[in-house]
Structure 1
Amino acid sequence: MTFQLHHTNLAGDTPGVSTKLYWYTAGPEDADTRVHLQAALHADEQPGTMALHHLLPRLRDADAAGQLRAHFTIFPSVNPLGLANYSLRHHIGRYDIETGVNYNRRWPDLYPLVADAIAGRLTGDGRANIATIRAAVAAWIDSQEPRTAIQHLRLLVLKSAAAADIVLDLHCDDDSLKHIFTSPELMPGLQDLADWMGLAATLTAEDSGGGSFDEVLPTLYRKARIAHPGHPIPAGAETATLEYRGRADSFDAIGEEDAKGLFGFFAGRGLIATDPGPRPAPAPAPTPFEATEVLRVDAPGLLAYRVELGERVSKGQPIADLIAMDGPEAFMARRPILAGTNGFVLSRVMGKYVVRGAGIAKIVGTDILPARAGAYLLED
């Protein structure tokens, strides 16, 4: 059996503090395909951890039966530092409270860091070129001297991901339907993942603007491809952010369903030598993330939603009413917040008191929105 639990100590940034990071490995070390799975990079998002809790016994049993055809590395809760960010009974798992940086932002742009190391070493063999790039990334990571616990954590996780062929980062939204973020060149290759997840949407962008984890490797190989047009450089990793509904959706039955979908995806790929079960219904085709409106409010107030998740809406249709909380008609006046595009409601916010500028819903359309083209696409 190859199924094994590992841990490493992350030295703390203050006296007497250290944190353990746990992960599992399973499958042949010399397998042709390597899979990296992680959940709860935003440490306050637990549905992915619940899904991996239910996936791990399936992988353990498949390993015992000799069915694993890939090497799996699984971080069920990849950010124990974020788990400790608790203040006044509130978990601040999305941000590093020392720096204020979102844990899923500002991951490194790897190509400039390895460009010199791969210069003159690429050939006409695409697989060999991927191996050369991976070796350069691993060498760069090994050369780093992390100054903080979060830098240590990031380098450790990035080294695992950079060696993998499939990299899945499990998250959730606030109150949401299931969806994926991925790079456009990886579709329709990841359509089978979308199908097995039973998604409402796959949203694609080459660069969403924030340096998120799922864009690190596609950006690396894309930039290498552009810089070396005479050498074949395939997409070295299929990467995606998997958004498993909303924060409140951490339940056994849901986690079991999500684990079944992941297991089916891997079995359908031949990475687990077992029957994946009935093929799921096709998920919707991908749409550019620039066609998704992040609907915002221009004043503070209390939200009263008029629409449900998944509901189709038209441009100009009221999505919610904003109840005034100050001014001459405080707690009496309300005005509609209108959709800016045609599409369906993918997500809403759970907290109904909102401040000016807050995003309150995502509406997935099909037409590129002028205000989104070339803009910062994410919510911090």
Structure 2
Amino acid sequence: MTLQLHETAFSGDTPGTSTNLYWYTAGPETAQTKVHLQAALHADEQPGTMALHHLLPMLAEADAANQLKARFLIFPSVNPLGLANRSLRHHIGRYDIETGVNYNRRWPDLYPLIANAIAGKLGTDPKANIATIRAAVGSWIAAQTPGSAAQQLRLFVLKSAHDADIVLDLHCDDDSLMHIFTSPELMPGLQDLADWMGVAATLTAEDSGGGSFDEVLPSLYRKARLANPGFPIPNGAETATLEYRGRADSFDALGKVDAEGLFGFFASRGLIAADVEAPPSAPRPTPFEATEVLRTDAPGLLAYHVALGDRVTNGQPVADLIAMDGPQAFLARRPILAGTDGFVLSRASAKYVARGAAIAKIVGSEILPTRAGGYLLED
């Protein structure tokens, strides 16, 4: 049996402090395929942690039966630093409270950092080229001197993920249906993952603008291909952000269903020797630029007209914004209108909103001029 718990300590940024990260490995160390699974990079998003809580004993049972054909690295709560970010009984797990940086932003753009290291070393063998790129990234990581606990954590996680074949980052939205973010070149290859999750949408973008964790490796191989057109460089990793509904959906029963979906996905890929029935088909991917992030132009109190999954048309009221100041305070209300045809993927759970707040995502099919080439994330 190979399932093993590991504990890694990171020195703190203040005297006498440190932080421990708990993670697991399972499956043969010599397996040809490596899978990196992590949850709660945004430490206040727990549905993924619940799913991995249920997946671990399933992997342990498969491990005991010698059914694991891949090497699994599992981080059920990958951001212990964010777990400690609490203030006045509220958990602020999305941002580093020292720097204000979103934990899932500003991950490194790897290709410029390793371009010189691979120069002259690429050849005609695609697998060898991937190995060369991975070795260069590993050497770059090993040469870094982290200056903070957050940098220690990032480098450690990146070291685990950089040579993995499948990298899944488990998140959730605020109040939302299941969905996936991934890179367009990884579809339709990851359609089976979407099917096993039972997602309402798969949203694709080469660069969403924030340096998200799931974009690090696709960007690396994409830029390597563009810079070295004479050499075969495949996608060296299938990566995706899996959005498991909303933050309030950390329920035992849902976590078990989600774990079964992950297990089925790995089994269907031959990474676990188990018989599984094919899941229903999920919708095909759409460009993230076709999803409207609906925002307010004033503060107020939201009164929604739509539920998750409802279809809306351009110009249809999605919610009313009730005024909380001015001459008609707490009397006036005006509609917030959809800017595209589509369906409601997510809503804001907090109904008091400030100016500029993102209150809904509406998944359409046509790229929106206001979204093309811009910053696509809510932050």
For normalisation by structure 1, the TM-score amounts to 0.99
Distance (Å, rounded) in 2 between the aligned partners of 1:325 and 1:14:
42
Structure-2 separation of matches of 1:5 and 1:113: 32
Q: Distance between the aligned counterparts of 1:230 and 1:123, measured in 2?
A: 9
SS at match of 2:320: strand
SS of 2:160's partner is: helix
1:84-99 matches, within 5 Å, as: 84-99=84-99
Residue of structure 2 in register with 1:351 after alignment: 350
Tell me the residue number matched to 1:260: 260
1:151 & 1:271 partners in 2: Cα distance? Answer: 32
| Equivalent residues in 2 for 1:38-187, closer than 5 Å | 38-187=38-187
How much does 1:317 deviate?
0.3
Match runs of 1:1-380 below 5 Å = 1-276=1-276, 278-380=277-379
Deviation of 1:379 after TM superposition, in Å, equals 1.0
1:242 & 1:146 partners in 2: Cα distance?
A: 28
TM norm structure 2: 1.00
Q: How far apart are the structure 1 equivalents of 2:20 and 2:159?
A: 18
Matching residue's letter, 1:357: G
Distance in 2 (CA, whole Å) between partners of 1:225 and 1:160 is 23
**Count of residue pairs brought into register by the alignment:** 379
Instruction: Tell me by how many angstroms 1:242 deviates.
Output: 0.1
SS of corresponding position for 1:104:
coil
Deviation string for 1:285-329 (max 9, x for gaps)?
Answer: 000000000000100000000000000000000000000000001
Give, as a single letter, the amino acid of the residue that structure 1 aligns with 2:6: H
State how far apart, in whole Å, the 2-side matches of 1:194 and 1:247 are: 20
Secondary structure of 1:99's match? coil
SS of the counterpart of 1:240?
Answer: strand
Residue 16 of structure 1, CA deviation: 1.1
Offset at residue 237 of structure 1 (A):
0.2
Query: C-alpha distance in 1, partners of 2:131/2:2?
Result: 24
CA distance in structure 1 between the aligned counterparts of 2:111 and 2:30, rounded to whole angstroms: 26
User: Could you tell me how far apart the structure 2 residues matched to 1:210 and 1:71 are?
Assistant: 30
Counterpart residue identity of residue 370, structure 1: P
Q: Distance in 2 between matches of 1:165 and 1:99?
A: 32
Deviation beyond 6 Å, 4+ runs, structure 1: none
Q: CA deviation at 1:44?
A: 0.2
Where structure 2 has 5 or more consecutive residues not aligned to the other structure, the ranges are none
Distance in 2 between residues matched to 1:360 and 1:114, nearest whole Å: 40
Percent identical: 80
How far apart are residue 128 of structure 1 and its match?
0.4
1:347: Cα distance to partner?
0.0
Aligned-partner residue type, residue 347 of structure 1: S
* Unaligned residue ranges in structure 1 (runs of 5+): none
CA distance in 2, matches of 1:373, 1:72: 37
